[in-house]
Amino acid sequence: MLTELGGKGGCLCEPAKSGSLRCPLIVRPTSEDVITGHLFGTLRAINPRWWLPDFLNQALGVERFRRQVFRNLRIELWQKQPAFPRWLIPWDEGQTEVDVVITWENPPTTVFIEMKYGSPLSGSTVHNNGHAGYPSDQLIRNARVGLYQCGWYVEDKLFEFPSRDFNLILLSPKMGNPLVEQYRDLDKFQEAIPHSDKLASLPSDSFIGEMSYSGTIDIARTNHRFMNKTEQRLTDQLKSYIDLKMSQIRYNT
C-alpha cells in the first residue's frame, strides 16, 4: 500500500520503465492479487462485526447475518480447493484456487470471494470451454466447488456430517454483473451445473451476490465511530488506497 500510495518503493531502472524488461518487483496497477492482499490484509485487522455482516447482507441483498463474535474466524487468501469429483462433471478438472475464503463456526459458514479488478470474469476455465453443454465461467465453477466442499451434494459416505452454510460473492470495481443475476435464479443455477439432482438442497434463496470495492469501504466508513483508533486509522488509509485503485481502473479502461 505504501509503495502505491506514497511511492516508497524506490526508482525503477530505465529498461523496466520502458517495458523492455519485466521486473518482478514492479507493483503493477492492474494486479488483482495486490489489491486482494491490501484489502483483506487490512480487513483482517479490523473487528469483523464492523464490516463482515453488513458486507454479506448488502452483497446478497438479504438481512441474514448479524453482528456477533465470529468463532474461529479465518480469512484465507488464494486457497486451493480439492479437485471437483469426476463423477459429477463430464470433464477432468484440476484444483480451483479461490481468491478469498472466509470461514467461522457459529453457525458453520464458508464464504468464497471471487476478486476481479482489471479483467472480467473468465468465460471458460481449464479443461472446460463449454463443450459439454454447461456454462464454463469462473462464477459457476466456484459455486459448485463451494457447494461440494460444504457438503451440499448427496454421496454415499461412511460418516455423515452436517452441511455448512455457503455463500459466493463477486467483488469487483462495479456492480451489475449479468452472471450474478442469472445464477440468483435457482432454476437457471441448477440448469447450469451437471448432476444438479445430486444436490440435497441449496443453502438459501440468495447465496450468490456481488459487491463493489467502493461499497466495501463505505460499509467500514459507516461503522467508523464504533472502531478503536487503530481500526479507524486503518480504515482511512484503506479508503485512500481504494480511491487510488478506482482512479487507476478508470484510467486503464
Question: What pLDDT is attached to residue 142?
Answer: 96
State whether residue 17 is helix, strand or coil. helix
> Which residues are CB-neighbours of 183 under 8 A, at least 6 positions away?
139, 140, 143, 189, 192, 208
Question: What pLDDT is attached to residue 25?
Answer: 47
Distance between CA atoms of residues 220 and 228, nearest Å: 12
Does the residue 96 lie in any domain? yes
Q: Using alpha carbons only, how large is the chain's radius of gyration in Å?
A: 20
Confidence (pTM): 0.86
Question: What pLDDT is attached to residue 128?
Answer: 63
Does the residue 13 lie in any domain? no
Question: What pLDDT is attached to residue 94?
Answer: 85
Residues of the chain with pLDDT under 70: 1-30, 123-130, 157-159, 250-253
Range of the domain at 98: 31-252
pLDDT in tens, 24-66: 544 555 578 999 999 999 999 999 999 999 999 999 999 999 9
Does the residue 157 lie in any domain? yes
Does the residue 7 lie in any domain? no
